[in-house]
A and B are shown apart, each in its own frame.
Chain A
């Protein structure tokens, strides 16, 4: 993980994210402790509280089959948390050049081997 992505202001709110070890996909930590592919499910921490939560999640990353756990600063909107940097907005929404490839994108049924 790139250290600069883990920068946060002293004030404000953040969410916790990671990549799944097995398929690399982005996930967000929800209030119930589950990891969701959708940022709208993410639990919003105040920046004052997030360090402890992060420490705990980083320690259990291997057990949860996660890599690169870090915090992302957000603004909270009516439709859920929105990251303040363009990088994290692209990470949350999918590549801007493939509008179909949002986190909702489902794989086609497996193509049988030729």
Chain B
């Protein structure tokens, strides 16, 4: 490689300075003190809970769980190694990538947590606002800064939002959690309309960014597609407008019922026009100059982002073409697991964390260290975590792909299934989660084994299968073409199937439950029959979701319950 493995600025994300590092140290000291006050009894569990949650610490089924923030899903190799170190030293040698582009550790001790946060702070990382009723980690397109179809790299604005929302004095005790996603491509890869606020950036008339603003989307027990609040919000008003939305929500969002406290319920209750009027009234009344996102601010943040120093394409494309011709399995992997890059000679690579029979999103510390090494060797030290629980190397030269694939294959990371039926999204479920009704992982394992054949998966084609262990929908089951929802039947686990969900910008829809809950094995068989029905009834070139929309759910429902 002609570039140094460590450029002065981290590629793809914001470089901390001493002020930021001091802040993180102070945050660790604050939490250390809070833990001491909890242990001494000065803080009750009720009082401590929101404080620990705002540092990502949950009490789950078996132990404490720590959720570490990966802002807009980007981290560098050193940070990945720090995560590996936490897995090895303080956990059971693995971590779990989440649908919010974060990572969770399942076996954490409260008394170790201040030390873990200190270790993270040394790597410019934290767990701030990964839980609690506050503005959560801002998510972004996993191909940001690389995708051929991108009009604007959303990560600079995601970082601005991260900073603005960090320990926000007014918005840290909201009615409920608040999730923001931002995309800079016309192809929505962040499910913008399933967020409390979804931002779609594009270039405005004067070449400065403008944002489409969606509000009130979300999954959970009341799945709702977000509505458009603004079509062309100028960049300079981005913070002011978000302040206005949050102020209206903080003042008027329901606090009497946890299940009705999200902003989507407020938007539904008021109606979008009344909600917009209130936001606009606030926006007009506020001191806009105070919150103006000046061009110089954007430039100052952008200046702290490293940019990849690409090599000339040379013969990379030709070499790749030859290698694909020579190795059929490699060719399949390239087809499924790479994404077009704007730089000639480069691609983005999605590394599947969904091997057949594996736990979706789980990676061991040695895999983390390997990923860090590969990032250093092949992608300017940068790694990305996707909301579909995979890992992306954003900028890989095409003539390096073959070697990369071979290494991944040898380490259980070479599965060629991105976008296919075994690229399953699953929450931790009842194996870990205190809220779950049913286990998500075992059914995911059975399904990924059932459909493990690469030929069968290609035959079925693109298909999103999402599994949630309860109605809170962390596994985004409503957004899956096929969704599975775990329910509790008098203390026993059971599963419902949803069909027809989608999170893409143009065709966003919420999956509908097709019938009564079944056991785990019945559900796996029912899904196999649903797939058979699709294969039998599709027209040429028709994807599962398209057949599903054309035929409706009835034939699939008949198949699902045919012998059950």
Report whether A86 and B492 are in contact in the complex, using a CB–CB cutoff of 8 Å. yes
A68–B45 Cα distance when bound, in Å, is 9
Interface string of B428-455 (1 = CB under 8 A from A): 0011101111110110010000000000
Interface residues of B in 57-90 (CB under 8 A from A): 59-64, 85, 88-89
Q: Given A67-B59, A90-B439, decide whether A21 and B430 contact each other with a Cβ distance below 8 A.
A: no
Interface check B39, CB cutoff 8 A = yes
Interface check A2, CB cutoff 8 A = yes
A12–B111 Cα distance when bound, in Å, is 37
Report whether A91 and B442 are in contact in the complex, using a CB–CB cutoff of 8 Å. no
**B445: nearest chain-A partner, CB-CB:** A97
Interface residues of A in 6-64 (CB under 8 A from B): 19, 21-26, 62
| Chain B residues positioned under 8 Å from A22 (CB to CB) | 39, 109-111
**A66: nearest chain-B partner, CB-CB:** B45
**A114: nearest chain-B partner, CB-CB:** B85
A94–B434 Cα distance when bound, in Å, is 13
A39, chain B: closest CB distance, angstroms: 13
Interface string of A61-86 (1 = CB under 8 A from B): 01001011000000000000000111
Interface check B558, CB cutoff 8 A = no
A85–B62 Cα distance when bound, in Å, is 16
Report whether A2 and B435 are in contact in the complex, using a CB–CB cutoff of 8 Å. yes
Q: Given A21-B110, A86-B491, decide whether A96 and B439 contact each other with a Cβ distance below 8 A.
A: yes
A62–B111 Cα distance when bound, in Å, is 16
A7–B338 Cα distance when bound, in Å, is 50
**What is the count of residue pairs linking A and B with beta-carbon distances less than 8 angstroms?**
80
| Chain A residues positioned under 8 Å from B434 (CB to CB) | 2
Interface check B41, CB cutoff 8 A = yes
Interface check B108, CB cutoff 8 A = yes
Report whether A25 and B62 are in contact in the complex, using a CB–CB cutoff of 8 Å. yes
Interface string of B24-45 (1 = CB under 8 A from A): 0000000000000011010011
**B432: nearest chain-A partner, CB-CB:** A95
A95–B442 Cα distance when bound, in Å, is 10
A73, chain B: closest CB distance, angstroms: 9
Task: Indicate the size class of the contact surface on chain B.
Answer: 35 or more
| Chain A residues positioned under 8 Å from B488 (CB to CB) | 87
Interface string of B475-506 (1 = CB under 8 A from A): 00000000000001001110000000000000
Interface check B320, CB cutoff 8 A = no
Report whether B61 and A91 are in contact in the complex, using a CB–CB cutoff of 8 Å. yes
Tell me if B's interface is mostly helix, strand, loop or mixed: mixed
Task: Indicate the size class of the contact surface on chain A.
Answer: 20 to 34
| Chain B residues positioned under 8 Å from A86 (CB to CB) | 430, 438, 491-493
| Chain A residues positioned under 8 Å from B492 (CB to CB) | 85-86
| Chain A residues positioned under 8 Å from B438 (CB to CB) | 86
B372, chain A: closest CB distance, angstroms: 13
B523, chain A: closest CB distance, angstroms: 15
Residue among A21, A24, A105 with most chain B CB within 10 A: A24
A68–B63 Cα distance when bound, in Å, is 12
Report whether B92 and A24 are in contact in the complex, using a CB–CB cutoff of 8 Å. no
A97–B437 Cα distance when bound, in Å, is 16
Interface check B359, CB cutoff 8 A = yes
| Chain B residues positioned under 8 Å from A2 (CB to CB) | 434-435
A98–B432 Cα distance when bound, in Å, is 11
**Neighbour of A97 across the interface among B44, B62, B63, B359, CB < 8 A:** B359
| Chain A residues positioned under 8 Å from B38 (CB to CB) | 21
A96–B443 Cα distance when bound, in Å, is 12
Report whether A24 and B109 are in contact in the complex, using a CB–CB cutoff of 8 Å. yes
B31, chain A: closest CB distance, angstroms: 15
Report whether A23 and B110 are in contact in the complex, using a CB–CB cutoff of 8 Å. yes
| Chain A residues positioned under 8 Å from B435 (CB to CB) | 2
| Chain B residues positioned under 8 Å from A97 (CB to CB) | 359, 431, 439, 441-442, 445
Report whether A23 and B63 are in contact in the complex, using a CB–CB cutoff of 8 Å. yes
A90–B64 Cα distance when bound, in Å, is 16
**Neighbour of A90 across the interface among B61, B85, B107, CB < 8 A:** B61
A67–B44 Cα distance when bound, in Å, is 10
Report whether B491 and A87 are in contact in the complex, using a CB–CB cutoff of 8 Å. yes
A25–B112 Cα distance when bound, in Å, is 13
A91–B89 Cα distance when bound, in Å, is 24
| Chain B residues positioned under 8 Å from A90 (CB to CB) | 61, 430-431, 439
A21, chain B: closest CB distance, angstroms: 7
A46–B413 Cα distance when bound, in Å, is 51
B368, chain A: closest CB distance, angstroms: 14
A21–B434 Cα distance when bound, in Å, is 16
A102, chain B: closest CB distance, angstroms: 10
**A1: nearest chain-B partner, CB-CB:** B434
A21–B38 Cα distance when bound, in Å, is 9
**B107: nearest chain-A partner, CB-CB:** A101
B351, chain A: closest CB distance, angstroms: 21
**Neighbour of B64 across the interface among A24, A91, A105, CB < 8 A:** A24
A26–B442 Cα distance when bound, in Å, is 22
Q: Given A22-B110, A86-B492, A90-B431, decide whether A65 and B439 contact each other with a Cβ distance below 8 A.
A: no
User: What are 18 A-B pairs with beta-carbon distances under 8 A?
Assistant: A21-B110, A22-B109, A22-B110, A22-B111, A23-B64, A24-B63, A68-B45, A84-B491, A86-B438, A86-B492, A90-B61, A90-B430, A90-B431, A90-B439, A95-B62, A97-B441, A110-B89, A114-B85
Known contacts A22-B39, A85-B492, A97-B442; 16 additional CB pairs below 8 A are A21-B38, A22-B110, A23-B64, A23-B109, A23-B111, A62-B41, A62-B44, A67-B45, A68-B45, A68-B59, A86-B430, A87-B430, A91-B62, A95-B431, A98-B92, A111-B88
4 shortest interchain CB distances as A-B pairs? A85-B491, A95-B431, A24-B64, A23-B109
Interface of B toward A, CB cutoff 8 Å: 38-39, 41, 44-45, 59-64, 85, 88-89, 92, 107-111, 359, 430-432, 434-439, 441-442, 445, 488, 491-493
